[in-house]
Chain A
Amino acid sequence: MAEKIKKIIVALAGNPNSGKTTIFNSLTGMRQHVGNYPGVTVEKKQGLCRYQDYELDIIDLPGTYSLTAYSTEEVVTRNFIIEQKPDVVVDVIDASNIERNLYLAVQLMELNVPLVLAFNMSDIARQRGLVFDIEKLSTLLGVKIVQTVGNKQQGIDELLKATVEISQQPRKDYAAIVKYGGEIENEIEKLQQKFDELHNSRWIVIKLLEQDADVSKHIQNQEILSAVQNSIKHLNTIFAEEPEIIIADRRYGFISGACQEAVKNTIEGRHNRSDMIDTVITNKILGLPIFIALMYIVFDLTFRFGEWPMGWLESFFGWLGQTVTGFWPTGSDNVLKSLLVDGIIGGVGGVVVFLPNIMLLFAAIAILEDSGYMARAAFVTDRLMHKIGLHGKSFIPMLIGFGCSVPAIMACRILENRRNRITTILITPLMSCGARLTIYALIIPAFFREEWRGPVMWLIYFIGIALAVISAKILRITLLKGETIPYVMELPPYRMPTLKAVLIHMWERGWLYLKKAGTIILLLSIVLWVAARYPRIDVDKLANLNDTDAQTAMLKHSVIGRAGVTLEPILKPLGFDYKIATALIGALAAKEVFVAQMGIVYAVTEHEDVSVLQKKLSSDYTPLQGFCIMLFCLISAPCIATAVITRSETGAWKWAILQFGGLTAMAYIVTLVVYQAGMILSG
């Protein structure tokens, strides 16, 4: 008989820092992809793995400590298990921190899912003096346990074997693994009768007694709800405490009972080394300088080392463009050529060119996260960032924003809390990115004397930061209001990051960027290309003009040029004419395009020095207008790449639109005030 591949759906659950990701990487290697759970901005990783005649479809669930309804991750985890009914759930447990990790395992058992426990990092646990009687623990819990060392590929085969075995066995009933004691059990039994034999009625009843908002929402029957209220009231009187606290207490009691019998701790001191490192890293004097030094390295790595591959990519696309141009006779004005060279090759180049930055940045972030530093960095800056309603970790995307908003917004994934993440994403474009630096480099020398150039540049950067701080504060008290989730987290011990994990992380982010953002950015670049060239002007009208003047005439005739003229009256109060307006629209493709567009509007040929354009600018505009151009470019409409990445990272166009519209409105108001005030002051 021909072998038949059987499919098994495996969900990977576990606490944060349990090494779940290393297990996932060991199982799936590069055969994984990242998506989002529908409706929420929680990342969903999925990967395939072959074992014997089975194909395992492995879903990496978010890291959680528990299955309450207090965080999105927990709700996502549990809904996935309830709705998708995976064939097996593998719970990855940090073997050196077994009690807290088993808390999740016990709740998974109450959910009555086929379960395998992976005691991960068992080598470290052994080094730290923990001795497990696996067989005994397995009997006490009634569940299969496999010892693994994820980063050394140990126990992976056994884990796969156990997973396949469990999937083929009849389901066990674990629901009553924890006995909650006479009083609570009485109430559970009473309520359970109202659910006639539903397969997970015990779990539902326990959740109702825990006053779980998400489960209660799904119960329509008023009779049941009032019976639940009575039970809660009754238990509350007996224990003088909320039932959910008593329930948690009993679960921990059960776990610690099991551990006392099956786990021996021979040495105390898992954290000695980590604690010692922490006295330096989170030291009150050294903490901040160390953080700043590390951030400098991350920034430097991302942009300085990124420059080389970026240069290669740029020259590659330049070469490609030239080669394609070569297919047509010199000087020919073919639409297809222009579309291929300027539209498509230029557009693809514009997308791919960010790739080295993104991959390097995520390699650095992976190292910071996997080593355990990121958890510390969060509170080194927390005091400062908290004042503006952001998390300590928001510092990282904001810093990266000085290089480029696109990787910066992707870096916001390190923020677990959704409100923090969205606030940070929205304000990140206010950090002056590298592309805007080219605008400042054009304007500042044109209008300001040598000794003023430094301070003006500094002022522009400072205004961006100040506006970001103010905007964050405003967002946090209006649209993204709500208490920052009370700050409790586990501090993972320092660990050596593995090369494999770093590479996978880097690859995954790069691919995600190309796939999700790349396509839309490319499409929009082509739209802008069309808008800058069509409708075409009559060739006769260009007959007696030289090349540069013809280009200027063509731009004026195009959609963008006309839009510039149309917008002139609106932009007039800011000190902008149609030329600036045209360049601003062109700058939507990428901020540095502003400079090129100004060059075209002013009919400066490509061969001429930038100082020619600067001279023309300084004769046409006042320094006040120059300053207002920079101000408007700093604040207004982020480039389309930023808008698209904001859409894909927040999961909704509304945030991208709000960011785009909000920043443009802010730019308008700020520039208007500055220009008008400047006009009055200068008489």
Chain B
Amino acid sequence: MKIQEQTCLTNITNGTKVRLLKIDAGRGLKARLAAMGLLAGVEFKVINNGHPGPFVIGLKGSRMVLGRGMAGKIIVKSSES
């Protein structure tokens, strides 16, 4: 498994599995995302990178939509082998 550098979620292509490193956002937004299960260390898959349209990720057996601005604040590391 090759270890990739950390990058922002918007740079990830469809179908890639990633691990969440951190979220560069204010307390309120971070807490909302945490309540949905978006916490450091969690693994998820980018279903649709949203060009155009929604940014969809697959997390814990469900699909979630993120605003594009929000996706830009989420820092991940690709965990695809």
Contacts and interface: CB of A to CB of B under 8 A. Distances in A.
Contacts of A242: 27, 30-31
Contacts of A383: 52
A335 interface: no
A455 B63 CA distance: 46
Contacts of B27: 211, 242, 244
B35 A65 contact: yes
Contacts of A375: 65
B36 to A, nearest CB: 6
A275 interface: yes
A99 B27 CA distance: 23
Which of B52, B60, B61, B64 has the largest number of chain A CB atoms within 10 A?
A: B61
Contacts of A487: 65-67, 70
Interface in A460-509: 486-493
Interface residues of chain B: helix, strand, loop or mixed (majority): mixed
A282 B53 contact: yes
A650 to B, nearest CB: 25
Given A249-B39, A379-B53, A486-B70, A271 B63 contact: yes
A377 B67 CA distance: 14
Contacts of A662: none
A583 to B, nearest CB: 48
Contacts of A97: 60-62
Contacts of A379: 53-54, 65
B56 interface: yes
A252 B39 CA distance: 9
Interface string B32-66: 11111101101000011001111010101111111
A210 interface: yes
B50 to A, nearest CB: 8
Given A97-B61, A244-B31, A245-B31, A284 B53 contact: yes
Interface in A269-322: 270-271, 274-275, 278, 282, 284, 287
B62 A490 contact: yes
A41 interface: no
Contact of B60 (A100, A248, A275, A489): A100
Nearest to B32: A70
A39 B55 CA distance: 35
A493 B61 CA distance: 11
Given A486-B67, A490-B63, A248 B52 contact: no
Given A271-B58, A284-B53, A252 B67 contact: no
A636 interface: no
Contact of A96 (B33, B37, B61, B65): B61
Nearest to A212: B31
B55 to A, nearest CB: 9
A492 B42 CA distance: 21
A97 B35 CA distance: 14
A634 interface: no
Contacts of A21: none
Nearest to A101: B62
Given A70-B32, A248-B34, A488-B70, A284 B51 contact: yes
Contacts of A284: 51-53
A284 B27 CA distance: 34
A68 interface: yes
Contacts of A249: 34, 39-40
A70 B28 contact: yes
B22 to A, nearest CB: 9
Interface string A60-92: 000001101010000000000000000000000
Nearest to B38: A488
Contact of A252 (B30, B37, B54): B37
A68 B31 contact: yes
A68 B62 contact: no
A24 interface: no
Interface in A595-642: none
B63 A274 contact: yes
A380 B40 contact: no
Nearest to B23: A245
A541 to B, nearest CB: 69
Contacts of B34: 244-245, 248-249
Contacts of B35: 65-66, 68, 103, 248
Given A275-B47, A282-B53, A379-B54, A488 B31 contact: no
B57 to A, nearest CB: 9
Contacts of B69: 486
Contacts of A270: 61
Which of B28, B62, B66, B67 has the largest number of chain A CB atoms within 10 A?
A: B62
B62 to A, nearest CB: 4
Contacts of A66: 32, 35-36
B53 to A, nearest CB: 5
A493 B56 CA distance: 12
A484 to B, nearest CB: 9
B33 A488 contact: yes
A248 B65 contact: no
Contact of B48 (A65, A248, A278, A492): A278
Nearest to A259: B60
A474 to B, nearest CB: 23
B53 A488 contact: no
A278 B14 CA distance: 14
Interface in A216-272: 242, 244-245, 248-249, 252, 265, 270-271
A255 to B, nearest CB: 9
A419 to B, nearest CB: 16
Contacts of B51: 284
B39 A491 contact: no
Given A68-B32, A245-B34, A489 B53 contact: no
B52 to A, nearest CB: 5
A96 B61 CA distance: 7
Those 5 A-B pairs whose CB atoms lie nearest each other, nearest first: A487-B67, A66-B35, A248-B34, A491-B63, A379-B54
Interface of B: 27-37, 39-40, 42, 47-48, 51-54, 56, 58, 60-67, 69-70
8 contacts: A70-B31, A99-B60, A244-B31, A252-B39, A270-B61, A282-B53, A287-B53, A490-B63
Interface of A: 65-66, 68, 70, 96-100, 103, 210-211, 242, 244-245, 248-249, 252, 265, 270-271, 274-275, 278, 282, 284, 287, 375-376, 379-380, 382-383, 486-493
Given A96-B61, A99-B37, 16 more contacts: A68-B35, A99-B61, A100-B60, A211-B27, A242-B31, A244-B34, A248-B34, A271-B47, A275-B47, A284-B52, A379-B54, A383-B52, A488-B67, A489-B65, A491-B56, A492-B63
